Amino acid sequence: MRAPLSWIKDYVALPDTLTIDELTDRLTALGLKLEAIHRADITGPLVVGRVLTMDPEPQKNGKTINWCTVDVGDANGTGEPQGIVCGAHNFKPGDLVVVILPGGVLPGDFVISARKTYGHVSAGMICSGRELGISDDHDGIIVLPTDAGVPGQDALPILGLDEEVIEFEINPDRAYAMSLRGVAREAALGFQVPFTDPALRDTPAGNGEGHPVSVEDPIGCPVFVTRSVTGFDPSAPTPTWMVRRLEQVGQRSISLAVDITNYVMFELGRPIHAYDADKLQGELVIRRAVGGESLKTLDGNVRALSEEDLVVTDASGIIGLGGVMGGESTEISDSTVNVLVEAAHWDATAMFRTGRRHKLTSEAGKRNERGVDPEICEAAADRVVELLVAHGGGSAGRGVTVVGQAPATAEIELEPALPQLISGMPISAEMTNAILQQVGCTTTSAGDRLKVWPPSWRPDLTDPYDLVEEVVRVVGYDDVPSVLPPAPAGLGLTQEQQWRRRLGRLLASTGHVEVISFPFVGTTDLDNLMLADDDPRRTTLRLANPLSSEEPLLATTLLPGLLKTAARNVSRGLEDLALFEIAQVAKGDRMGPTPILGVDQRPSEEELAGLTEAVPAQPLHAAVVLCGNEDRAGWWGSGRPANWSDGIEAMRMLADSLGLELEIAAADLAPWHPGRCAELRLAGEVVGHAGELHPRVCRNFGIPPRSVAAEIDASALEATAVAVPQAEVFSTYPVAKEDVALVVADSVTSAEVSSALREGAGPMCESIRLFDVYVGDQIEAGFKSLAFSLRFRAPDRTLTDAECAAARDSAVAVAVERLGARQRA
């Protein structure tokens, strides 16, 4: 909302000493936040000129320029006509124009000087609104009304460019401030000075002689007022002061009748519609549209209407989308001589829905959907009529139609101590009462309560807490003291929150860099991962309105994001990568619709359970992607490329940090290499996978071959993690070590051999550790040798050699029996 300072001052007697900064600071503190103060970015001489001659001169480049002489009075020091080249054509000799003379500066530090161009010395410039920074209009230069001034006169005040225009950000609950009436009222409140309400005027009462109107939907349209003007001169120009003010609030001048409706809208906040009365056919009927109806609106679009849309009709059919946009057939034109003025109050919700449905935003719509003062329809219509007659001639019609009545504002009961309790500031009941009256409320005491009726322009005030806000903002939000809230002793982070931090710190301390990816993926990403058609990771949630139609799905795995991030790094020459991400993924299994519950009381436990169960599962995942070297090459020797085992190791480490041991088994799952993929299990449940990526997946994502990935369900880890680790009882007797080398078929995994040994080694076995894998000449093809070191220790004595040997033999025996292992000689 833009408000020229001079216009504000029309309605409020601000002290002369008040600076604009003091004014905007106070209004900001009251809730009208200062966005900007607009001042002309122009230094003179900017003067009125009268075009004396203009000679069109066609140029080689196809353009035609006008060589003009312009009377600028004495402004050029000589009194001689000024020779100026002008490229625009929307003017003629005799017109008053705006001229900037050499030495002047236009917005953008554009210094004007006499310069040679198109074979003439052009001593200055005839200006367009765009060049002056007051509009986007660059179709032509500004032609001033004939009474705007005399040649040589300073044009800055004529254009309003010497004025300050304050731009406010208006919160959605303060629709009343989208008018000069509202802004001025706030200024009066802020400085406790008198306010002259421009909507307070004597208006003729409805008299049954006006245009016939029937409102069939009084909920949608509680008030409908019409007035008329006959014998209006459609060619009458808009007065300069009105053009200037409209430009200051950001509205370009169109025609006198339209300008006046806009002017009154900015003045009072009440959108007005004007019809060409001669194009209307009989009674206006206001009703909801019925299915299948349509309307060609002023903007030329044909719109299919919904049963919720409020429409204005006459005998010809629908002629307007009530409160939102008029129809083409009855619009004001340059031949309109009889005008019917409509000032109607529309249901805000209906306005919002219609605006949203038809994607229509307009200054009128913005006001109607936020809530306009319903009591000023007659005043606004009267003001429009006054201005039409004053500037366009003609006479006000006798007929005044008033259908309906402004709905009364609902009474609010306020506990007078509430503002003090809620703000933490000392605010007495008297102060509360006084401030509420200052903002326009009517109040009366009822026992220990205050009964409050908000003013008609404040439909946003419905609850006691709304009144508290009014009181506190006038007392001063910034005077609220700072007091630490008395929180009871808390329990700190939950175990899960601590674990999550632990996982992140662990991965980062072991060389991994955390990234945050968008959770949006496309089918292409899942195809690039080579996921099978029935892979559960293909069961995704889909967005109804994705940012990119390429990525409409919600990720069920962190890998696409990580792989794309890896590719981005690789493309930037960062080839040794260890990335990780810890984030929630969304399971795609449809849970059925989530209920919309009531808000008038707490939903029942059953309702809440139904609600939360319908929200899809979103487990926390942790994933890593490794590319290039795990250990760098350097003066110490060559680097060590990351391999499948690094991925498994990262996941093992995560589990280990939560006191868990993963079981590792061979698996074949996309996007991994079918022979280098490990399934990670916890108590028999698969919780993740790790290994080398399939070469085609690497190619699909544009990362180096043999890159590594791992992903694990961290929520599953957390569910079984050890919250309170218990101390181990350990023996101080000497350890006995036994090494065994077992030859097994290639297909037998080390995990299988290890667990067989573990089973046979008996209770004295402290640990089993694989320390060598050998494949080569000394072993027949298709077999490998696995060397394990076993440690034995008894809790209560030193083990004898014989006991150790027996335990080792027993361990080997299980491996031999179960896996066909044989001891290597």
Partner 1 sequence: MSGPNTNYDPVQVSALDEASVFDMRDAALAAINAAIDLAGLKEVRSSHVGDRSPLALANREIGALPPQARKDAGSRVGRARAAVAQAFEARQAVLEDEAQERMLLEERVDVTLPWDRHPMGARHPITMLSEKIADVFVGMGWEIAEGPLVEAEWLNFDALNLGPDHPARTMQDTFWVDPPEDHLVLRTHTSPVQARTMLTRKPPIYVACPGRVFRTDEYDATHSPVFHQVEGLVIDKGISMAHLRGALDHMLQALFGEGMRTRFRPSYFPFTEPSAEMDMVCFICHGSGQQDEGECRTCRGEGWIELGGCGIVNPRVLIACGVDPEVYSGFAFGFGIDRLLMFRHGVADMRDIFEGDIRFATPFGVEL
Counting contacts by CB under 8 A, is residue 448 touching partner 1? Answer: no
Say how far residue 1 (Cα) sits from the centre of its chain: 20
Note whether 209 and 258 are within 8 A (CB).
Answer: no
Shortest approach of partner 1 to residue 260 CB, angstroms? 30
Query: Does 584 interact with partner 1 (rule: CB under 8 A)?
Result: yes
Largest CA distance in the chain: 127
- One of 173, 233, 278, 328 touching partner 1 (CB under 8 A): 173
CA gyration radius, the chain: 41
For the CB of residue 617, give the shortest distance to partner 1 in the complex, in Å: 9
Site for partner 1 in 523-542 (CB under 8 A): 541-542
State which residue, 299 or 514, has the beta carbon closest to partner 1: 514
Q: For partner 1, which is the closer residue by CB, 420 or 528?
A: 420
Spell out the residues 6+ positions from residue 150 whose beta carbon is closer than 8 angstroms to its own: 48, 73
DSSP 8-state assignment for residue 688: E
Q: Which is closer to partner 1, CB of 605 or CB of 780?
A: 605
User: Closest approach of Cβ 519 to partner 1, in Å?
Assistant: 7
Of the residues 194, 300, 634, 776, which one makes contact with partner 1 according to CB under 8 A: 634
Closer to partner 1 by Cβ: residue 15 or 481: 481
Cα(592)–Cα(590) distance, rounded to whole angstroms?
A: 6
Which of 565, 707, 715, 785 lies at the binding interface for partner 1 (CB under 8 A)? Answer: 565
Q: How far is CA 257 from CA 47, 137, 234, 336, 384, in A?
A: 29, 20, 8, 9, 9
657 binds partner 1 (CB under 8 A): no
CB 492 to partner 1: min, Å? 6
Of 92-100, 127-135, 140-148, 564-572, the segment contacting partner 1 by CB under 8 A is 564-572
To partner 1, the closest distance from the beta carbon of 387 in angstroms equals: 33
Q: Which of 330, 319, 341, 42 is nearest to 162 (CA)?
A: 42
Residue window 354-373: x/- pattern of binding to partner 1, with contact defined by CB under 8 A: --x-----------------
What's the rounded Cα separation, in Å, for the pair 289 and 652? 66
Q: Under 8 Å CB-to-CB from 601, ≥6 apart: which residues?
A: none
771 near partner 1, rule: CB under 8 A: no
Q: Which amino acid is at 757?
A: L
Q: Which of residues 462-491 bind partner 1 (CB under 8 A)?
A: 463-466, 468-469, 472-473, 477-478, 480-491
How many CA atoms within 13 Å lie on the side-chain side of 133? 16
Minimum CB distance to partner 1, residue 593 (Å): 5
Q: Kindly state whether residue 770 participates in binding partner 1, applying the rule CB under 8 A.
A: no
Strands (DSSP E) found in 177-316: 213-215, 223-230, 273-276, 284-288, 294-296, 302-304, 310-314
Provide the minimum distance between the beta carbon of 438 and partner 1 in the complex, in angstroms, as a whole number.
15
Q: Does 139 bind partner 1 (CB under 8 A)?
A: no
* Of residues 484-523, those binding partner 1 (CB under 8 A): 484-494, 497, 501, 504-505, 507-519
Nearest residue to 326 (alpha-carbon basis) of 365, 292, 290:
365
**Closest CB to partner 1 among 483 and 729?**
483
What residues from 19 to 78 belong to the interface with partner 1 (CB under 8 A)? 28-31, 33
Give yes or no for residue 431 binding partner 1 (CB under 8 A). Answer: no
Crossing angle between the packed helical segments 180-191 and 256-268, to the nearest 10 degrees = 30
Asked if the peptide bond before residue 671 counts as cis, ω within 30 degrees of 0, the response is yes
730 binds partner 1 per the rule CB under 8 A = no
Beta-ladder partners of 627: 577
CB of 586 to partner 1, least distance (A): 5
Instruction: Let me know: does 818 contact 810? Beta carbons within 8 Å.
Output: no
Look at the chain and count its residues.
825
Chain centroid, CA 126 distance in Å:
42
Q: Which of residues 590-629 bind partner 1 (CB under 8 A)?
A: 590, 592-603, 608, 611-612, 614-616, 618
Residue 200 interacts with partner 1 (CB under 8 A): yes or no:
no
Tokens 């009871």 locate to 488
Q: Report, in Å, the least distance between residue 651 CB and partner 1.
A: 16
For partner 1, how many residues bind (rule: CB under 8 A)? 107
Helix axes 256-268, 240-248, angle to 10 degrees: 50
Is 545 a binding residue for partner 1 by CB under 8 A? The answer is yes
Beta partners for 297?
A: 327
Residue placing its CB nearer to partner 1 in the complex, 354 or 401? 354
- Nearest Cα residue to 713 out of 643, 642, 617, 579: 617
Q: Which is nearer to partner 1, 53 or 604 (CB)?
A: 604
